[in-house]
Structures are given as C-alpha cells and as structure tokens.
Amino acid sequence: MGSIALDKETSAPATQNEKNPDFSKLRESATDAIDGAERQLRELNRQIHDNPELAYKEYQAVENICRFLESHDFGVQRATYGLETSFTAEVGSSGPLVIICAEYDALPNIGHACGHNLIATSSIAAFVGATRTLTKSGLSGRIRLLGTPAEEGEGGKVKLIQAGAFKEDIAAAIMAHPLARHQFEKGFSGLAGMRMIGSYKFRVEFRGKEAHAAGEPWNGVNALDAAVAAYNNISLLRQSMRPDERVHGVFEEGGTVPNIITEYTRMNWYVRSPSMKRGKALLDKVRKCCDAAALSTGCTLNYKDNPTYKDLRVNEPLSQCYVNEMAYIGEQVTLRQDECFTASTDMGKSAPCNVSYEVPSFHGGFGIPTDPDVAQHHPRFAHFAGRDSAHEEAIKVGKGMALLALRVITDPELIKDAKADFDIPPDE
C-alpha cells in the first residue's frame, strides 16, 4: 500500500496562540506523568500484545488493564454497559467530559496485526497524563477512559452506544490508530484527521439438500455450489467497481466430506465505499450476486446483517489542536488527507448508532516502523506492533492526546468550535 494522499496546504504544523498562559505547566505535568509510568505501560503493552484475544473474549487484556489502573490508584468499574470486557475509569466530578477510547481485541490467527495493543497503550497513557494533571491543577473537568471491546468486525462501540455510553453531554471522544510509517510522507509521523470508508457487513447462508455424492447426486441440492457461484459472481462484479470501493469475503462453512452433497454453507462479506449512498448501491449488487447463486442452484438463502460501519467523520478543530500539541513535543503530524483510507472502524457511524456521528470525535493515525511491504492486518504487522520502537510512538501519541484532552476541558472556545464543526450536516 502506498503513502496516504495528504492535503499539502495543511501538512505543516500550525502555531496556536496561548489562550491559557499556564498551559505550558499543564503540558509539562502531563508529559512528566506519562514518562513516570512508561515502564509499567511498556509491560502492559507487552502483556496485551503477547496474549491476543478475539472480540468479546478479551478477558486477560481487560484484567491486566484494570490491574494497571488500580495499581495507580484509579477506581475502575468492570463489565460496564452490559459487556463483560468493557470497563470504565474516571477522574473529575464536574465540568466538560472527555472520553478516551481504548481498544484491545485482536484478529483471528494473526494476533495484533491490527495494533490494538498500541491503541490501548496510547489511550491509557493519555488518561494517566491528563488525569494526573487534572487532579494536580484542581481544574474543573471530567476525563473517562472507556474500554471498547470487539472493534474487529463485531461493532463493540455499537453496543456501547446502544447501552448509553455516549448519551451524556460529551465535549469530545478521542483515540488514535497505528499505521505503517511508510504510509506517510517523509518527515511526518502521523495524521490527525483520519478519514475511513464505510463498510456494510453481512453473512449469507445457503441451504440445500444432502445426498450421496456418488450414489444419487441427482437427489441433492448443493449449497457449496451456491457459495462458489456467489463468490464467482462477485468476482465478476469487481471489473465495474470504482477504485475506492472494496468487496471481500470468506467461506466460513463449506461442507463436511466430499462424498456427501453439502446441505449448508455460510459466507462472510464486507462491502466498503467512501459514502453510504454508494455503499448501499454496491451492497445491492453484491446481494443480487448471492440471490442469483441461490436461484441457479435451487438453494434457499438467508442474510444475517452485522453492524454497519459508516465513514469516519473528521472534526477539524480537534484535529488542528492535536497537530499543534504534537508539534510542541517535536512531532510533525498532517492535519488531514485528501482521500479516504480504505479501512473501516466502529469509531465511525455504525447503524443504527455511531461515535463520530454521536459526539465530536478525534481519531488520529500514527506511524510505526515496519518493512516496506507490511501494513496493518498483514500477519507481520503484529511483529512490528510488539517492538519497542512501536511502543515509543504510542507513548508520543498518548502525550498528544493527553494534551488534546486538557485543551478541551480548559478552552470553552475549542469546545464551541468542535461542536459547530460536528453540527455541519455530513455528506452522504
């Protein structure tokens, strides 16, 4: 994958007038607090990375995170919002509320090739830095760390929103995701306004009729034929897809033994597009491919929809503030990109609810060193996500997000601007 297309006019770090002359002290306090916890954060990062767990089964990761927080005298609530592997920790009792989201689930068979160990590390570091400073300074504000399980295809944030995790008056929700460093232009270590395409997700089940494949195949209805036909139909559809659209699927159930006509098959599909309108049109074409496969083989079919991830909304005031704060700690971060990154997240809009469409949100990207042919979700990305060099980048980002959180709770104008940007109707 090549470098991300960047907005040239906004690629240089901006300067910001100090509305709060004492913010330099807050900045020093937050970064010092993160540095003081860095050794324990590295061990926590290693524990999560070396013990990958799948969606809604991140028991060890959550326990290790909660123990880390409790060892630093934070009160922790486990199994929040009806999810066993969610948790919350909060500091402050009044004032603007900032939620820092932490992810920690892994991918089947390839572990943390998503780098969610680094998301957890950067978010927890941000929480430590911001809350220690909040307490020390006596400022008014609330900062909450929210454990968000099951991002990889299972829509954990969807369930959290449905359970009320984002129903309060929230000034901002923030997090950042690791990417391969070579995806950024030389000299830049990250991206503030990270745009992602939307994703429709569904499973399709084909049902036929079992029969002996040698003795009387004419009495069977082959569900494997239906699945293969659907796959081939969709492959033919690719020639008419736009360059920024994606369709990919796998066979989850394909039969048992060769000498029995397969009665049941199941496929799992993702349909991605930069806008939900275009995505819906592409989804309709993909489903017609499945419908045709069922019709041609005589099978019945059943669709099982999974949570839909809409495109990720960029909040420019929050992104600009993050760029400014990262510049103060010596990192050049691009404000935004021209084109959508061809991946999806439940930080975007997820039907019937969302995060970046619910509250003003920041979702940045940061680069970690990898080989030139390795990017996220590549099996070897997991190796690079566990290295010290990747941890160092996560710590820098944790500092930037801590300072962003502190900016939000100390600057009413930033809250106002972020809300105004959020209120602009999105393009469909």
In this prediction, residue 427 carries a pLDDT of 60
Contact of 252 with 266, CB cutoff 8 Å: yes
In this prediction, residue 52 carries a pLDDT of 97
In this prediction, residue 350 carries a pLDDT of 39
Kindly state the tokens that stand for 125.
């570091």
* Nearest-angstrom CA–CA distance, 163 and 88: 14
Report the Cα 222 to chain-centroid distance in Å. 38
pLDDT digits (tens, 9 = 90+) for 344-361: 444 444 333 468 889 999
Q: Which of 392, 308, 407, 366 is nearest to 45 (CA)?
A: 392
* Nearest-angstrom CA–CA distance, 331 and 334: 10
Question: What are residue 270's DSSP bridge partners?
Answer: 201, 248
Q: Checking DSSP bridges between strand 97-102 and strand 87-91, what pairing results, if any? A: unpaired
CB neighbour class for 328 (10 Å; exposed up to 12, middle 13-18, buried from 19): middle
Contact of 146 with 86, CB cutoff 8 Å: yes
In this prediction, residue 19 carries a pLDDT of 53
3-state secondary structure of 348: coil
Q: Which domains does the chain have, with CATH numbers?
A: 23-196+311-423 (3.40.630.10), 198-309 (3.30.70.360)
What is the DSSP-derived secondary structure letter of residue 133? H
Kindly state the tokens that stand for 79.
């199994």
Which residue stretches of the chain have pLDDT < 50? 1-18, 21, 341-353
Kindly state the tokens that stand for 31.
């970064």
Can you give the pTM of this predicted structure? 0.76
In this prediction, residue 7 carries a pLDDT of 45
In the sheet where 97-102 sits, what is the strand order? 76-78, 87-91, 142-147, 97-102, 170-180, 361-368, 190-193, 333-336
In this prediction, residue 11 carries a pLDDT of 41
pLDDT digits (tens, 9 = 90+) for 120-171: 999 999 999 999 999 999 999 999 999 999 988 677 888 999 999 999 999 9
In this prediction, residue 426 carries a pLDDT of 66
